[in-house]
Structure 1
């Protein structure tokens, strides 16, 4: 029975990331932006990747679509079905055929994603002409259709307008329309609502959920907002200093958070009815991951740290249940203290 369950679960895998490393050589040493990250993305589901700025969230998303900086050294595997995206040439024909058609990305700042020299319609059409049809009239009709589906009024007129003629909310919708124009299997949304007010933010999130149901696509939702994660995601991966320190279902993360960093993030969220005058915060900042010694990267900021243990070696990953894993010495097998300190 267990074997059948495992096989069924494996068949739902859309993307498998295993031991992903993204390092940058610097004058001061190797900067390990992403260090041994592993996770799966399932068809029709949403994985949230959360953490502070500088934890490696965005560069992980860019690596999936193959647009990480040229100066980076990447290793590990990113498998879309049987294709390992890490092994494909950066601008080769194979990755270009996947990028936009099977995997698409919504970037943090839509104003920077669109060229001011071309109309919105022409820029969305470009992807459709590349991946779906060579007929310009049909591509224009598909562009108007996707603009309408993302809630842009009078799409025939908006098709001929330039980015500076769109409001912030409309630009975000146009960015979503561009990403979904070829009906991708996987959508990577990198802080897609950061620059929007709360009303427009709610509209955009509802739109993404509606389109996910319509297209049946998977979503990797990159954010620092755990409130959005609760609304959007099925599973959460908490990143810190280039590593996933805890991963579980949304319900498990909110009900039973284990890692001190996860608990700190949750305590910083305002709640209705709370009488606290000030929200709690995590003291300190994310260290720069250059020449880091073998230790827990959260050690200096952790209220539950164990001196002589957490600062002596790399933290092992502990599988708490089928859907919950954490990297923390509080949950590791520490029966043999001599072995841990060696």
Structure 2
């Protein structure tokens, strides 16, 4: 849906306006032993020029949520809800429900890679081993920006330089296996940013990188965000990266957002027992070296044929018998931008 708007109206879209709004997102997968609720009613917004961190343990639905935005989940995933994308074009304001677009439709293809780009968890599998790095970066540029091969190559070389890859002419003609892990990650970032996207989805962008290269990649993403003015959805299980990169944080557990707030709200005023457990498990400077780190006992249950209850019930030290195991907690607003799914809290209050 698009409406004509003046340049002034388009410019009036401030960084506080949402670029993307995910509403009641549900992803179901039919298994032999029942229905898996991989994502169960997720809601969040991503603001223009800001970074939202989606954090949680492996298997909580983070990657399925992020991939649903651009429609690249496996066909076995039954996805419902709304993913509203608010794009400010040159002459029109567009509001599109990305879930209403077919995953192979011309419209989603014009958005995927051009307006919304993604850095995948493992670039060695995301890049094709059959084509050179330069060829694969050029392909995205020629689809979305220019058909001219010389211009596409110039842009590709420029982007390789922006991400800190030296001797671009030589690297342009090399294959993914000839790059180190850190260089492949940089090349993946250059391909994602080659079309100046409005939203960058980074799914575990520093997995398997050593700490030095990890710091360089994160700093690079921050610099490029400032240069291009894009929003970032950062998917990770690393709270250290969340603290370094994000403006807002959504804590995900068993397919649901259990707590959401600003990064300061999450780190200095956590509410949900799961969030508190994650923070207690982090190593801290100056802590007693002889003291063991806290851990969250148990494992994430398989979300198949689960009864209505709090998904964290079996692992929670603050659970309320007869309440937490009989119904799913609703989202409770603690303050203006701080929400939590826990029966320990009431709207606008600290607790019961």
- TM-score relative to the length of structure 1: 0.94
Number of the residue aligned with 1:215: 228
Post-superposition Cα deviations, 1:184-236, rounded to whole Å, max 9, x if no partner, equal 00000000001100000000000000000000000000000001100000000
Taking a change above 3 Å as real, the CA distance of residues 218 and 28 of structure 1, as seen in their structure-2 partners, is same
1:229 partnered with 2:242? yes
Q: Structure 1 residue 243 and structure 2 residue 256: aligned?
A: yes
What's the CA shift string for 1:6-44, capped at 9, x where partnerless? x97796210000000011011211100000000000000
How far is 1:277 from its partner? 2.5
The residue aligned with 1:285 is 299
Runs of 4+ residues deviating >4 angstroms:
7-11
Q: State the distance in 2 between where 1:269 and 1:260 align.
A: 15
Supply the RMSD in Å over aligned alpha carbons: 1.2
* Alpha carbons 1:187, 1:218 under 8 Å: kept: yes
CA distance in 2, matches of 1:152, 1:59: 31
Alpha carbons 2:15, 2:48 under 8 Å: kept: no
Mark the runs of 5 or more structure 2 residues left unpaired by the alignment.
Answer: 1-11, 87-94, 348-352
- 1:186/1:219 contact within 8 Å kept: yes
Pick the aligned partner of 2:61 from 40, 56, 71: 56
Q: Does 1:71 align with 2:85?
A: no
Normalised by the size of structure 2, how large is the TM-score? 0.91
- Partner SS, residue 285 of structure 2: coil
Find the partner of 1:314 among 325, 328, 331: 328
2:16–2:48 Cα contact (<8 Å) kept: no
Aligned to 2:8: none
- Unmatched segments (≥5 aa) in structure 1: 1-6, 334-342
Shift of 1:137: 0.5
- Does residue 24 of structure 1 match 2:38? no
Which of 93, 106, 113 is the aligned partner of 1:93? 106
Taking a change above 3 Å as real, the CA distance of residues 249 and 58 of structure 1, as seen in their structure-2 partners, is same
The whole-number CA distance in structure 2 between the counterparts of 1:185 and 1:10 is 12
Work out the number of aligned pairs and report it: 327
